Amino acid sequence: MWEKIALFFEKFTDPLIKTLIMIGIVFVLLLIVGIVGNKIIKRQRVKKKKAVTLTKMIQSITRYVIVILLLIIILGIWGVDVGPILAGAGIVGIVIGLGAQDLIKDFLSGFSIIFENYYDVDDIVEIKGFKGRVLDIGLKSTKLINWKNEVKVITNGDIKEVINYSLNPSLGIVDVDVSYKENIEKVILLLEEKLIYIKDWFPQVVEGPNVLGIVNLGSSGITIRITVKTNSEEHYAVERAIRKYIKEIFEENNIEIPYPQVVVHDGDSKN
């Protein structure tokens, strides 16, 4: 029995040691790939989305290539004939044999996303009902993070439709109600005169604010609409600032903001 155990260790110790050494080498290589890629990104004084995206994609491809080569080398260490695999036909056969059609679909979709410029790292997108900033684009999947810091990983093969909010400026819309008793023309002129300063306070504003005019005659007041264009997905803070500033303008000029009212008429009254 002890002889069999000794023979077992004698037979498998050498390939086991070689396997562990190769795994250690690959671990170091993957670490170097990550460090080099991150340094390339950080060295850019002006962060360019496309450069960051391509760097991350190259990192992803490199990792997969290193891992595949590791598997082939380990198979060779353990006596498996790697000739057909290195020739190329074997790799295809193994991939198909393992039922990895979905993996191939994810890879092809990943290339399509990059080269057809669906989105880049740091873009704000919506995929499968999840809206967030693109953290990472890999060969197999895309990683998003939303305003709640929730992270969602979506396989590239499942990405059929994408809404990219970063391709064009965002449009902020602010509706404000004014009492019917107010002179609407004066109110509009006052808003046009005062709201122009918003652009000086918020550098992300690229156009406006513009007072479009009356958009609704409500039950208790008249609705005036203001629009403003900002850098993509940076309109929320500007909208809040406009609302706050409008309230201050109305208070300073005694302009009434309406509230729900109920008017009761006496049917028997002749007046």
pLDDT digits (tens, 9 = 90+) for 205-253: 999 899 999 999 988 899 999 999 998 888 999 999 999 999 999 999 9
Higher confidence at residue 249 or residue 79?
249
pLDDT digits (tens, 9 = 90+) for 130-148: 999 998 887 788 999 998 9
- Look at residue 151 in the predicted model and tell me its pLDDT: 93
Question: What average pLDDT does range 7-29 have in this prediction?
Answer: 70
Asked whether residue 81 carries a pLDDT value surpassing 60, the answer given is yes
Q: What is the pTM of this model?
A: 0.57
Fold of domain 170-252: Alpha-Beta Plaits (3.30.70)
The highest-confidence range among 26-30, 36-40, 97-101, by mean pLDDT, is: 26-30
Dist CA 219 CA 260 (whole Å):
8
Question: What average pLDDT does range 90-101 have in this prediction?
Answer: 55
Dist CA 173 CA 225 (whole Å):
7
Question: What average pLDDT does range 28-46 have in this prediction?
Answer: 63
CATH 1.10.3470 fits 2-99, yes or no: no
- Look at residue 45 in the predicted model and tell me its pLDDT: 43
- Look at residue 205 in the predicted model and tell me its pLDDT: 93
∠ CA 32-38-40, rounded to 5°: 100
Do residues 253 and 235 make contact, with C-beta atoms less than 8 angstroms apart? no
Tokens at 250, concatenated: 């109305």
Average pLDDT of the chain is: 79
Dist CA 31 CA 57 (whole Å):
16
**Cα-flanking dihedrals φ and ψ of residue 144, to 5°?**
-120, 150
Asked whether residue 159 carries a pLDDT value surpassing 50, the answer given is yes
Higher confidence at residue 169 or residue 103?
169
Asked whether residue 126 carries a pLDDT value surpassing 90, the answer given is yes
Domain-wise residue ranges, the chain: 2-99, 115-164, 170-252
- Look at residue 213 in the predicted model and tell me its pLDDT: 92
- Look at residue 11 in the predicted model and tell me its pLDDT: 60
Question: What average pLDDT does range 168-187 have in this prediction?
Answer: 92
Higher confidence at residue 71 or residue 199?
199
The residues with which 124 forms a beta bridge, in sequence order, are 133
Lowest mean pLDDT among 6-20, 148-162, 205-219: 6-20
CATH 2.30.30.60 fits 115-164, yes or no: yes
Q: Which of 213, 206, 222 is nearest to 191 (CA)?
A: 213
